Structures are given as structure tokens and as C-alpha cells.
Amino acid sequence: MIQMSILRKYPFSLICVVLIWVLCFDTADGMPSVSIPNIDKLVHFAMYFGTCSTIWWEHLKATGREDFRWLACFAVIAPILMSGAIEILQSQTTYRSGDWADLLANSLGVFAAIPLGHFLLKPVFESRSDEHIGDGQQSA
């Protein structure tokens, strides 16, 4: 059972993960047809980049610090494993096919989120955390 604290701390990340699963197993009937070569790889990259960026954002917002082990597990390893599982499961359906290029695009999206989280999001949330510490020290 999912703990309520996870739902409270990571609501948008969980929504992104659920959305990925739904989109990856939905039939292609309702999806728009676009004639741009490899557009699906760009979509895969964007889904995983967005999801992992959201995980970074929500984790830093909740904790105020970069926890390497936690982020390595939940913002890098877990999304890549999920992507591999989805590709394997898609290969077992009659309406989708597993594609290793999709796994590569997903993984690139995961890795592209790391510099965003580390160099852009981390300094923002650490400075906010420092401000709150400073506020507490001033009032003491």
C-alpha cells in the first residue's frame, strides 16, 4: 500500500508515472497521426524528461536538499527499469510493439533531467532552505 506521505510529497510525479503507463498501453486509434520522422522518440524523451524533472522538483521541494541515493534510485534507476518493463510488456500485446529505441529515448530523457535538477532546481531549493534556517536563527 502506498503511504499517504508519498502521495502528499509526490502527487505530480505519481500522476506522470500513471499517465506514462496509460499512454503506453492505450491503443493508437485515438492518437493523432503526425508525419514527422521519429516524433514518437521525441515524445518518449519528453515524457521521461518531464517525469524525472518533476521527481527532482518535488523531492527538493519536500526535503530542501539533494539526496544522491534517493534521487539515483527514484529519479534515474526506477524510471529506466519502468521503461524497460513497459517495452517488454508492450511486446506481449497485439496492438503495441516493444522498441529498444523507445527505451533509449526514455533513458536519454531521464539523464537529461539530471543537470536540470542538479544545476537549476537544487540551488533554488537549497537557497530557500537556507532562508528558512536563517529565519529561525534570527527569531531565536
Residue 71 lies in a domain: yes
Tell me which residue of 49, 45, 47 sits closest to 117, measured CA to CA: 49
Range of the domain at 123: 39-134
* Per-residue pLDDT in tens (0 to 9) along the chain, 140 residues: 557 788 899 999 999 999 999 999 988 776 777 788 889 999 999 999 999 999 999 999 998 888 999 999 999 999 999 999 999 999 999 888 889 999 999 999 999 999 999 998 888 887 776 665 555 554 44
For residue 23, is it within any domain? Answer: no
d(CA 26, CA 43) in angstroms, rounded, equals 15
What's the angle, vertex CA 9, arms to CA 133 and CA 115, rounded to 5? 75
Q: Is the pTM of this model over 0.95?
A: no
Q: Give how many domains the chain has, as a whole number.
A: 1
Is residue 98 domain-resident?
yes
Residue 25 in domain: no
CA atoms of 126 and 56, how far apart (whole Å): 13
pLDDT value at position 131? 65
**Residue 28 counted as domain residue:** no
Q: Say if CB 59 and CB 71 are below 8 A apart.
A: yes
